[in-house]
Amino acid sequence: MHGTSHQEDLGLFQTIEERHSVRKYEADYKMPEEDLTAILEAAALAPSSWNLQHWRFLVIEDAKKKEELLPIAYNQKQVVESCVTIAVLGDVEANKEAENVYGEAVEKGFMTEQIKDTLVSQINRAYEKDPAYPRELALTNASLAAMQLMLAAKAKGYDTCPMGGFNEEAFIKAFNIPDRFTPVMLITLGKAAIPAHRSSRKPLEELTIKNSF
């Protein structure tokens, strides 16, 4: 049993180590729908504040929509050459999901009605207290799902690239994004045409502080 667990650990760490941002894709590769579904399902298992699941995945795979996205993404060819571009959106009104999320938990016997009502009340108060808070939570939690999506893609043999370089206002208009959602990033997903450029990383001792500055 211990040996199996060790092998699984190695697999995860290998996936993390092998994931690099790819900008050149095989333009004619067709991704099986079941692979895309499996990747999105894995992304949706990411943790989130109060389990509100602040993410939505806008999957852009139609050729015409890709061409429409191209100038919005400052003509970065990867958005038309990759199999799909996934726009990760953050829910700035995720508190509206609390009643359903916790109602289901009550139905399954995971919590009492009283605890549910208390939690829903706490969440709504937190969202109403600070105008900046809903957007901060949307960005943070959707980013957790985005990272999980990229690792799941790599584990399935695909490559990705997270993109912050796009005209957010134009994207919202062109793709009819409701006010409830804020674009967090675009992620291209497909088969690499050429290997990704390796990038250096800072030594861990420069990045790690123990206990306090």
Distance CA 16, CA 7 (A): 14
- Token pair listed for 30: 């067709």
pLDDT in tens, 137-173: 999 999 999 999 999 999 999 999 999 999 999 999 9
pLDDT band for position 1 (cuts 50, 70, 90)? very low
Q: Identify the structural domains of the chain with CATH numbers, from first to last.
A: 23-195 (3.40.109.10)
pTM for this entry: 0.89
- Token pair listed for 53: 């699941």
| Pick from 9-23, 56-70, 90-104: least confident | 9-23
Instruction: Tell whether the torsion through CA atoms of 101, 40, 167 and 67 is positive or negative.
Output: negative
Composition of the chain by helix, strand, coil, percent to 5 = 50, 15, 35
Distance CA 113, CA 106 (A): 6
Residues in the chain: 213
Distance CA 103, CA 125 (A): 18
- Per the prediction, the chain carries an average pLDDT of 93
